[in-house]
């Protein structure tokens, strides 16, 4: 069983999906339309104002100016017409100026969005390339010995971890960190993460190297310390001598191209087969033979890869 089967799922793409550039441009347009849903174009706003001014002038002409216009001298009419014509020309010029400004602004915004989209698409493509070409380690958990709980040092779990590089480049500086937790809930995850991260400064150099398609097999015997065994006293619905064991850990390794650390996490609950054939807690102070041991992945808790 592989703990990080979901880590390879992100590498698969379908032919019906759009390119990263198209997806980013669509996202930008969607965000822009949500950010400014009621924003009005300056040209449209100016045009609306001019139409309202025109309607007011028409009413003013009809109700107030028209009667006096008939009594106005010819040369005064010419002066008024020239002044109004100049005003009309100014208004038309202003309309076209605003319209050109609006068009230039839209073109500049579109160019900016396209540039941002191209930059993000490039970043996405780089990340996809790294994810496709980097090493990925999958771990298979195999119980290889009895579970001994009569040891004064704690409960000892013996198993083999078969690690395979399912990626496309070598995994360097491989280190394995393992522990056994006695917990009723999945509150051991912070301890598991701390265990894995504590080794990163130490594994800068050294450790095993596994090439693509190759395997790295490790036999492990690890004990739950006495403090973990005592946690049974706090379990709800269980006896104080019943153990809820979890064999957990991680494989830390580096990508030679990027120099980054990656981890593959695993966690399995260990139990015994009861007289009725059901899964049951292990009784403290006993030794459970191989044919009476059962284990189940805690997935998704305690499992995965980065």
Which pLDDT tens digit goes with each residue over 46-78? 667 667 766 766 666 665 565 566 666 666 667
242 vs 301, residue with greater confidence: 242
pLDDT at 225: 86
Q: What share of the chain is helix, strand, coil (3-state, %, to 5)?
A: 45, 25, 30
Question: How far is Cα 11 from Cα 122, in angstroms, rounded to an integer?
Answer: 17
**Residues 72, 211: one domain?**
no
Give yes or no for a contact between 211 and 146, defined as CB atoms under 8 angstroms apart.
no
Of 91, 124, 146, nearest to 19 by C-alpha is 124
Question: How far is Cα 110 from Cα 122, in angstroms, rounded to an integer?
Answer: 18
**Residues 89, 171: one domain?**
no
Question: Which of 62-66, 69-73, 241-245, 251-255 is least confident?
Answer: 62-66
Q: 11 lies in a domain?
A: no
What's the Cα-to-Cα distance from 126 to each of 19, 57, 121, 171, rounded to whole Å?
13, 62, 9, 20
Q: Would you state the structure tokens that stand for residue 110, as one six-digit string? A: 């579109």
Specify the DSSP element, H or E, that contains 169.
none
Q: Taking 50 as the threshold, does the pLDDT of residue 295 lie above it? A: yes
Q: Taking 70 as the threshold, does the pLDDT of residue 36 lie above it? A: no
**Residues 246, 161: one domain?**
yes
Q: Tell me how many degrees the CA angle 226-229-235 measures, rounded to the nearest 5.
A: 150
Of 98, 133, 168, the one marking the end of a domain is 133
**Residues 142, 115: one domain?**
no
**Residues 145, 294: one domain?**
yes
Q: Would you state the structure tokens that stand for residue 230, as one six-digit string? A: 């005592």
Q: 267 lies in a domain?
A: yes
**Residues 108, 165: one domain?**
no
Q: What's the average model confidence in pLDDT over 11-36?
A: 53
Q: 151 lies in a domain?
A: yes
Of 133, 156, 180, the one marking the end of a domain is 133
% of residues, the chain, pLDDT over 90: 18
Q: 218 is in which domain, residue-wise?
A: 137-305
Q: Taking 60 as the threshold, does the pLDDT of residue 261 lie above it? A: yes
Q: 15 lies in a domain?
A: no
**Residues 104, 174: one domain?**
no
**Residues 152, 299: one domain?**
yes
Render pLDDT for 101-152 as a digit per residue (tens, 0 to 9).
878 888 888 888 888 888 888 888 887 877 788 999 999 999 888 888 776 6
Q: What's the average model confidence in pLDDT over 33-44?
A: 57
Q: How many CB atoms lie within 10 A of CB 167?
A: 24
Q: 13 lies in a domain?
A: no
Q: What is the number of domains present in the chain?
A: 2
Question: How far is Cα 264 from Cα 302, in angstroms, rounded to an integer?
Answer: 10
* Helix-helix angle 20-35:74-133, to 10 degrees: 140
Q: How confident is the model at residue 199 (pLDDT cuts 50, 70, 90)?
A: low
Q: Would you state the structure tokens that stand for residue 164, as one six-digit string? A: 């395979």
79 vs 217, residue with greater confidence: 217
Question: How far is Cα 272 from Cα 124, in angstroms, rounded to an integer?
Answer: 47
Q: Average pLDDT over the chain, rounded to whole?
A: 78
Q: Would you state the structure tokens that stand for residue 103, as one six-digit string? A: 């068009």
pLDDT at 38: 54
* Helix-helix angle 42-60:74-133, to 10 degrees: 160
Of 90, 116, 133, the one marking the end of a domain is 133
**Residues 102, 251: one domain?**
no
* SS3 state at 11: coil
Positive or negative, the Cα torsion across 220, 225, 229, 231? negative
pLDDT at 258: 81
Q: How confident is the model at residue 205 (pLDDT cuts 50, 70, 90)?
A: low
pLDDT at 95: 77
Of 260, 241, 245, nearest to 181 by C-alpha is 245
**Residues 141, 129: one domain?**
no
Q: Taking 70 as the threshold, does the pLDDT of residue 284 lie above it? A: yes
**Residues 191, 43: one domain?**
no
Specify the DSSP element, H or E, that contains 299.
none
Q: 1 lies in a domain?
A: no
Strands 245-255 and 242-243: unpaired
Q: What's the average model confidence in pLDDT over 221-249?
A: 89
* Residue with token string 């900016």: 112
Cβ partners under 8 Å of residue 124, min gap 6: 20, 24
Give yes or no for a contact between 274 and 245, defined as CB atoms under 8 angstroms apart.
no
pLDDT at 24: 53
Q: 120 lies in a domain?
A: yes
**Residues 58, 144: one domain?**
no
Cβ partners under 8 Å of residue 135, min gap 6: 165, 167, 168, 169, 170, 171, 210, 212, 253, 255, 262
Q: 9 lies in a domain?
A: no
Asked, as a colleague might, if the bond just before 300 is cis with ω within 30 of 0, I would say yes
């Amino acid at each position: 069983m592989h703990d990080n089967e979901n880590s390879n799922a992100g590498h698969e793409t379908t032919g019906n999906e759009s390119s990263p550039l198209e997806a980013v441009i669509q996202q930008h347009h969607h965000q822009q339309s949500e950010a400014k849903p009621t924003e009005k174009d300056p040209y449209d706003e100016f045009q609306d104002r001019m139409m309202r001014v025109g309607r007011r002038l028409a009413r003013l002409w009809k109700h107030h100016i028209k009667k006096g216009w008939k009594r106005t001298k010819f040369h005064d009419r010419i002066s008024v017409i020239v002044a109004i014509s100049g005003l009309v020309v100014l208004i038309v010029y202003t309309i076209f100026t605003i319209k050109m400004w609006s068009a230039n602004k839209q073109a500049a915004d579109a160019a900016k969005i396209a540039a941002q989209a191209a930059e993000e698409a490039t970043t996405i493509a780089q990340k996809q390339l790294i994810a496709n070409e980097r090493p990925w380690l999958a771990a298979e958990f195999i119980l290889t010995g009895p579970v001994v709980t009569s040891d004064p040092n704690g409960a000892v779990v013996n198993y083999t971890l078969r690690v395979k590089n399912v990626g496309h480049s070598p995994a360097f500086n491989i280190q394995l960190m393992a522990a056994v937790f006695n917990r009723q809930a999945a509150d051991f995850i912070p301890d598991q993460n701390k265990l894995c991260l504590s080794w990163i400064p130490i594994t800068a150099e050294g450790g095993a190297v596994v090439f693509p398609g190759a395997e790295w097999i490790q036999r492990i015997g690890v004990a739950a310390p006495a403090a973990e065994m005592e946690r049974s006293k706090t379990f709800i619905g269980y006896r104080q001598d019943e153990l809820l064991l979890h064999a957990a850990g991680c494989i830390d390794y580096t990508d030679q191209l990027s120099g980054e650390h990656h981890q593959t996490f695993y966690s399995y609950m260990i139990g015994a087969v009861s007289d009725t054939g059901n899964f049951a807690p292990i009784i403290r102070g006993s030794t459970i033979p191989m044919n009476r041991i059962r284990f189940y992945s805690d997935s998704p808790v305690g499992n995965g890869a980065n």
